Every structure is written in structure tokens, then in C-alpha cells.
Amino acid sequence: MKAILFALAGLLAVCLPASATQCHVNPVTIPKEWVTMHRNCRMSMRQQIQMEVAASLQYLAMGAHFSKDIVNRPGFAKMFFDAASEEREHAMKLIEYLLMRGELTTDVTTLLQVRAPERKTWEGGVEALEHALLMESAVTKSIRNVIKACEDDSEFNDYHLVDYLTGDFLDEQYKGQRDIAGKASTLKKLLDRHGALGEFIFDKKLIGIDI
Amino acid sequence: MKVIILAVSCLLAVSGALAADTCYQDVSLDCGQASNSLAFRRRSLPRCNAVYGEYGRHGNVATELQAYANLHLERSYEYLLSAAYFNNYQTNRLGFSKLFKKLSDEAWEKTIDIIKHVTMRGDEMNFDQRSTLKVERKNYTVELHELEALAKALDTQKEIAERAFYIHREATRNSQHLHDPEIAQYLEEEFIEDQSKKIRELAGHTTDLKKFITSNNGQDLSLGLYLFDEYLQKVV
């Protein structure tokens, strides 16, 4: 009796999928010769995307810090929230590039993780700007490593991606770094004699109020 | 004299009286101090802050609001991955990709908005804070086919909307310590109304798509999916 039940159950299991609604089109195959990115280059790009996401979260934490009532620096907060959105856009641009090259057909879920930012308080505007500058330097260095990985592959020099990263990303990195460095210097000079006043005025300048 | 003021202010702090002149008392105390050291001044005036209505002192509204920002943040990046998946050359459903990209953008903007609101109420943001609600959620996967992905999006939007209901309930218990109309109003205005529209929209999409898939003995499947994606490209 049990054997019959078993057999019946087995039969049902086989039949069931056939009777279920098919909700998706079966995958098709098309030539893949055009998908040419190599492994090392692809992996370093994936890491770079995660790094941009982590930077976006760290900037969010900076924005949150300077929004606090006991800190009250809306100019800094705005600057860092904007920077957070910018880092998210960098991640999206890198993803777009991978998609354009025929990547990300699999292993998309594992591409990035959202982890709480490491740091959440700063002594003042100067410290945050210096932290931002260090972070951007690390991102720049990392992009250079991606370029290296994509260029040095003995079988495939990925000229186009190297050009894209060099022209678009490094360009933006260097300009961004210069901007932060300038701000940090100006603020630090202001603070030399006029701590509280200096930061207050600088913050208002950031939000577009001239005092 | 100072001792008396101190005693009075302590008494006030303990009684937790609403709208007491606490900041003013701090100022009176502090400005009378002989000490002029910067370090002292920086830590002074502890009660001159944005906290009112006993925000963060009772119940879980304050922590739930932090968790709500984190929920949006996580969902935002998950939606971003879904948008990416539907934009690869094999799936190539640009309409679906657009739909998820929009959901991602909206969740990201809300994240920043909630963080600002948390700090507006005199609190600070905690990126590790999670809701005390027991959430049963399996690991997120973006490699789904069209209808599955829509279903997932619908479920996720409901999760976000129901969390707003929960925080709203916690904020409006009408007991002395658990009543925060400001948070209730914020949720109603910035979240609850739009969420119902979004959910209705996604539910409508799943209805249509399901019909295309099952009608005509499943013969319309591939054309239905294609057309629906074209439609999404137009309307999203």
C-alpha cells in the first residue's frame, strides 16, 4: 500500500511542473564572442562598485552628523549628502558600463552589500573634510588598480574600459580631490584664530548664504 | 544661591515637566560660571537642544525611525541591483529596469529625508538600528523573471508601507508618554499617501501581466512580456 502511495506521489511530482503555468520565456542563446571582458578586470570592477557604495554610506553618516542640533552645520550636511548621492551615481555608472559590455547576466545579487559606515562622529568641519580627502584618495588609488588589472591582462588589454576610467572617473576624482583640499585649507586657515566664527561663516558659504 | 538653582533644575529634570525653562536655566547657570575654559563651554548647555515632547525617552518611535531610514537604504540598493539585472543583454527588459531604478531612487531620497528628520528631532542617526518588529525575510535575490520580480516589488512596498503604519501606531498611542503628532504627521504626509498609490500601481501591473501570461493557453506569453515591457518604458 505504502509503495503504491509512494509511486503515486512520485508520479504527481513529475506531472505537476508540466501543469503549472509557465510565467517566463525560456532563455535563448546568441553568440557570445562579443562578451570580451576578462576575469581579473571584471572582479576589480565589481570591487570598485562595492567601494563606491561604501563611500556613499560613509558620506551619509557625515551628512547625518552635521545635521545634528548640537552640531548645526547645514552647509556641511548638504555637501556630504550630495556627495553620498554622487558616490551612488558612480556605482550606477560602473554598473551601466558592465551591462554595456555584456556583463551582469549572473551574480548580480552578490554585487554589493549595505554595511553600516564605520565612523559616525567628527570633531569639526576640518576633520570631516580631511577624512573625505583621505577617502577620495583611497577611491582614486583603487580606480588606478582597476585600470592596471584591465590593462595588464596578457591576453586582453581592455583599451575601452581603461580609457573610460582614465578619462571619466580619474578626471572627476582629481577635480573632486582638489575641491575638497581647497576647502580644507581655507577652513583650516580661518580656524587658526577664529574657531567658532570661522566654521560658522564657512558653513553658511557652503549653503550659499553670504554673510 | 547656585546650589538652590542646581537643586531646582535637578528636580525639574526628574519630574520631566514639559516645556520647563531648562535651556534658559542652563544658560543662567553657565553664564554665571567663573570658569571660562573652552572645554567646559563646549560641553555646557546640555539641555539646549531640539528634543521636545520627550522624543526618544519612551517607547520606540525614535529607534524605529532610525530603523526606517535603514530599511529604505537597504531596499534602495536592492532595487538598484534589480534594475541592473533587467538591463543586461539577456533579460533586456528596459521597462522593468526603469521601474526598479525609479523605486531605488525614491527609496534613496527617502533615506536622506528620514535621516534629516531624525536629526531635526534632536536625535542622531544610528545606521545599525533595526526594527524590533520580527521580520521574516529570506535573502534577497534579484535574478528573478518578470512576474516574480513584480511580485517581489509589490511585497517590498507593502513591507515599507506597513512599517510606516507600525511607527504611526507607536507614535499615537495617546498615553502621556507615547504621543508624538509630529512624527505621525510626517509619516502621513511624506509616506503613507504615496505608498498606497505605489502599491495599487504595482498590484495593477501584476494583474495585467498575469492575464497576459495565462490567457490564450499561454500562447501570448512571449509577446505579452515584450509588450508589457514596452508599456512600462512609456509609463514609468
Residues of A within an 8 Å Cβ radius of B: 21-25, 27, 53, 57, 60-61, 63-65, 67-70, 77, 81, 84-85, 88, 91-92, 95-96, 99, 102-106, 108-109, 111-112, 114, 116-117, 120
Residue B35, φ and ψ in degrees, nearest 5: -60, 135
DSSP single-letter state for residue B215 = G
Q: CA distances (Å), B147 to each of A23, A115, B213, in order?
A: 7, 29, 9
Euclidean distance between CA atoms A106 and A101, whole angstroms: 13
Give CA–CA dist A69/B120, Å, rounded.
7
Gap between the Cα atoms of B201 and B84, Å rounded: 22
Q: Which residues of A touch B119 (CB under 8 A)?
A: 64, 67-69
Q: How confident is the model at residue B8 (pLDDT cuts 50, 70, 90)?
A: very low
Q: Could you give the ipTM of this predicted complex? A: 0.90
Which of A28, A60, A94 to substitute to test the interface with B, most B CBs within 10 Å?
Answer: A60
Q: Quick one: three-class SS letters along chain A?
A: CHHHHHHHHHHHHHHHHHHCCCCCCCCCCCCCCCCCCCHHHHHHHHHHHHHHHHHHHHHHHHHHHHHCCCCCCHHHHHHHHHHHHHHHHHHHHHHHHHHHCCCCCCCCHHHCCCCCCCCCCCCCHHHHHHHHHHHHHHHHHHHHHHHHHHHCCCCCCCHHHHHHHHHHHHHHHHHHHHHHHHHHHHHHHHHCCCHHHHHHHHHHHHCCCCC
For residue A211, the one-letter residue type is I
CA-closest candidate to residue A180, choices A116, A141, A103, A125: A125
- Look-up: residue for cell 505621525? B184
More confident residue, B133 or B99: B99
- Domains of chain B (ranges; CATH) run 2-42 (no CATH), 61-235 (1.20.1260.10)
Question: According to the annotation, is A130 in a ligand binding site?
Answer: no
- The percent of residues above 90 in pLDDT, for chain B, comes to 68
Tell which of B82, B85, B139 to mutate to test the A interface (max A CBs under 10 Å). B85
Q: Decide if B170 touches A, using CB distance below 8 A.
A: no
pLDDT digits (tens, 9 = 90+) for B153-205: 999 999 999 999 999 999 998 787 889 999 999 999 999 999 999 999 999 99
**Structural contact between residues A143 and A41, judged by C-beta atoms closer than 8 angstroms:** no
- pLDDT one-digit tens code per residue, A126-165: 999 999 999 999 999 999 999 999 999 889 999 999 999 9
pTM of the model: 0.89
By three-state DSSP, how is residue B172 classified?
strand
| Separation CA B186–CA B69 (nearest Å) | 13
Q: What's the average pLDDT block by block, 10 residues per block, for chain A (211 residues)? A: 56 54 91 96 98 98 97 97 98 98 96 95 96 98 98 93 97 98 95 86 92 78
The answer to whether B33 is a known ligand-binding residue is no
- Taking all residues of chain B, what is their mean pLDDT, rounded to a whole number? 88
